[in-house]
Structure 1
């Protein structure tokens, strides 16, 4: 289990999160929802080690990893897909994928990525920065498939993408869950997130306002109150 306990964190003198506790059980999908500025991205950064909390603990399967650097949490099975399509734009698609081989068979790594996202197969020699937004996101997401993580943190992976690409990405996320990965999902498409989630946390001004199962929430009221128009309907 990924467990964040009483996390208080921020940047400089600004406090973003206030005593936030959240649990991600193995092989589950947890949706983390809230308005812009609620602290969702900061919470993912704390979980992966990109942001050290001022107080509170982060535990992975019982081990205290609070404040550990991202490469340490990654070795323990954490994969963080940040907002903004984290690829190396000046490297080719093949080179981006080979980085995740981690000393293994680069060709096998490429084959696995192409099996997950076939469109990448015809783009292997292209610079990653020349791909469409959806293709760049597929390339970024392939890391969650190639590194065999236990926990995957996903920050707005569907943002700005065409509906058909969003469908493909959610199909991929469902496949990850079937393989036993646990997902902590920050997502703008509220109804899509609720449809795949086992548990939901709602952040408001840096605090947890709701924690429970999706069926306990009214999606329309949630959208109107916290998130504005839900383009995923």
Structure 2
């Protein structure tokens, strides 16, 4: 089976100093894959580099048979990749409904919006509310809905549970869990590594810009080295 997303020897970062020092990973069709690691390890940098938001010094990023190297962020979205950033992921001054309708490149946007309300019922009663007035969990649902409006084959999530209450964390991860059943493969960066790996098929643990460990999610959860050094023995936070 061919990977949906393949990253090989990816290096790059925010300045002349490479934060990523040769990252390689693959995501297969129908998988949820978690990227975990300590704060500052380069987890979110991987996602941003895949999306073309940061410069790279070497390496390849393939989405199926498409080399993303020369494509803009907008063109990458057109290729079937979706992205939910950690912050600034909704338009706070627009209503919930306007947030969905302004997504570009959507066929029959009103029908897609109705489908999102069916998927995220909490949003249906807030169609006219400004996105900035929603709770943290509701805003994150709206961010998911915006990304799913274009029906991406692959969805990149950058810390989807950041700053949420424990109850909302479970809610968001439940949404992630069912995405592959609707045809969307997921690559997720998550601080709550244990909870994220629990709904994943595989995982990569990054340390100082390199892949330190990789494997089946259940194996990483049970590995003492991963637990001690990267996942946290007594906390869901890494």
Shorter chain as denominator, the TM-score bin is over 0.9
Q: Give, in whole Å, the separation in 2 of the partners of 1:102 and 1:77.
A: 11
Cα displacement (A) at 1:108: 1.5
TM-score in terms of structure 2 length: 0.91
Alignment of 1:208-223 (within 5 A): 208-217=211-220, 218=222, 221-223=225-227
Alignment of 1:35-54 (within 5 A): 35-54=38-57
SS in 2 for 1:36: coil
Q: Give, in whole Å, the separation in 1 of the partners of 2:126 and 2:88.
A: 17
Contact 2:137 2:172 in 1 (8 A): no
SS in 2 for 1:14: coil
Q: Does 1:176 align with 2:179?
A: yes
2:10 aligned residue (7, 17, 20): 7
Q: Give, in whole Å, the separation in 1 of the partners of 2:136 and 2:70.
A: 32
SS in 2 for 1:31: strand
SS in 2 for 1:3: strand
1:231 aligned residue (216, 227, 236): 236
Contact 1:32 1:40 in 2 (8 A): yes
TM-score in terms of structure 1 length: 0.93
Contact 2:82 2:148 in 1 (8 A): no
2:130 aligned residue (122, 127, 130): 127
Cα distance per residue 1:15-40 (max 9 Å; x no partner): 10001111111111111011111111
Aligned counterpart, 1:97:
100
| Larger mean Cα displacement after TM superposition, 3-12 or 213-222 | 213-222
Q: Give, in whole Å, the separation in 1 of the partners of 2:147 and 2:181.
A: 13
Cα displacement (A) at 1:226: 2.2
Q: Does 1:60 align with 2:63?
A: yes
Point out where structure 2 has 5 or more consecutive residues left out of the alignment. Answer: none
Aligned-residue CA RMSD in angstroms? 1.8
| Larger mean Cα displacement after TM superposition, 36-45 or 142-151 | 142-151
